[in-house]
Amino acid sequence: MTVALAGRTPATFEIKSANLPLVALLLKSSDLQLLEQELQGRFGDAPDFFDNDPLVIDLAPAGEGEIDFGTLVRLLKRHRVMPVAVKGGTPGQMEAAVQAGLACAQDAALNPTFHPGGLSQREREEAREEQPHVPPVVQAPPVHSCALVIDKPLRSGQQVYARGRDVVVLAMVNAGAEVIADGHIHVYAPLRGKAIAGARGNAQARILTLCLEPELVSIAGVYRTSEHPLPDTLRGKPAQVRLEGEKLVMLPLNP
């Protein structure tokens, strides 16, 4: 949707409206030290969990305390998220956030429904006309990103997360290791650890491996552990795992 500007069209730029998939941080305290500790505890072991994802900070649950936005932004960037906006804060907090270079998204909704409240009247109308079915803001993964390729063994204690895409693992995934992807998981070697495909609910995701002997396989939250041994036709063989309804289906791969 191009916004028509008066006169000729400039050669160097074009203004378009765009939607950005965002992650939201619901800030529940203004104690940044505590936040740092808890972030470290939750994501310290998985420094690649975020991939410089844009983020909106929801201040509503944080109370009315003063927040040092400079420190908060640095802290979040260390965890590889890019704070771009705040919402739901007190006027004082919002003002401080603007001073720190963040945008105010006072009325932006964090749920999938699109509320063009922050736009100008004219843009709002255009948005309504031309984009009646805006994709869900939060859950939309980048569509054309290429699969994450891992070419070293994943050993006990190691974890890989392919955010919003597939993962291709060219070496073994040992017991105690975890491969997680929002899309498919391909393992061209023995899969002995945990494989979690469709981690954000994609029921179409599959797990494919040349040697199926996992501790756990899961697709869109439906899982099976090694407590129930696989039949001899599948165990240690090339196989795929997919979801049919609420049931995991495992089939041998017969090229």
Partner 1 sequence: MARIIVVTSGKGGVGKTTTSASFASGLALRGHRTAVIDFDVGLRNLDLIMGCERRVVYDFVNVIHGEATLNQALIKDKHNDNLSVLAASQTRDKEALTKEGVEKVLHDLGGMGFEYIVCDSPAGIETGALMAMHFADEALVVTNPEVSSVRDSDRILGMLASKTKRAIEGKEPIKEHLLITRYNPNRVDAGHMLSLEDIQDILRIPLIGVIPESESVLQASNQGSPAVHLKGTDVSEAYLDVVSRFVGEDRPLRFVDPEKAGFLKRLFGRKG
Kindly list the residues in this chain that would bind partner 1 in the complex (CB under 8 A): 152-158, 172, 174-177, 192
How far is the C-alpha of 191 from the C-alpha of 189, rounded, in Å?
6
By beta-carbon proximity to partner 1, the closer residue of 158 and 218 is 158
> Which of 77, 98, 99, 74 shows the shortest CA–CA distance to 86?
98
By beta-carbon proximity to partner 1, the closer residue of 103 and 175 is 175
Q: How far is the CB of 127 from partner 1 (least distance, A)?
A: 46
Q: How far is the CB of 155 from partner 1 (least distance, A)?
A: 3
How far is the C-alpha of 218 from the C-alpha of 213, rounded, in Å?
13
How far is the C-alpha of 60 from the C-alpha of 81, rounded, in Å?
20
By beta-carbon proximity to partner 1, the closer residue of 167 and 177 is 177
Q: How far is the CB of 241 from partner 1 (least distance, A)?
A: 22
By beta-carbon proximity to partner 1, the closer residue of 160 and 219 is 160
H/E stretch holding 169: strand 167-169
> Which of 44, 103, 43 shows the shortest CA–CA distance to 73?
103
By beta-carbon proximity to partner 1, the closer residue of 165 and 192 is 192
- Which residues are CB-contacts of 254 (< 8 A; sequence separation ≥ 6)? 238
Answer yes or no: are the C-beta atoms of 245 and 222 closer than 8 Å: no
Q: How far is the CB of 214 from partner 1 (least distance, A)?
A: 14
Q: How far is the CB of 45 from partner 1 (least distance, A)?
A: 11
H/E stretch holding 207: strand 207-212
Would you put residue 152 in left (φ > 0), alpha (ψ -120 to 50) or beta? beta
How far is the C-alpha of 35 from the C-alpha of 41, rounded, in Å?
10
By beta-carbon proximity to partner 1, the closer residue of 57 and 172 is 172
How far is the C-alpha of 74 from the C-alpha of 82, rounded, in Å?
9
By beta-carbon proximity to partner 1, the closer residue of 111 and 156 is 156
Q: How far is the CB of 175 from partner 1 (least distance, A)?
A: 6
Q: How far is the CB of 153 from partner 1 (least distance, A)?
A: 7
How far is the C-alpha of 51 from the C-alpha of 195, rounded, in Å?
20
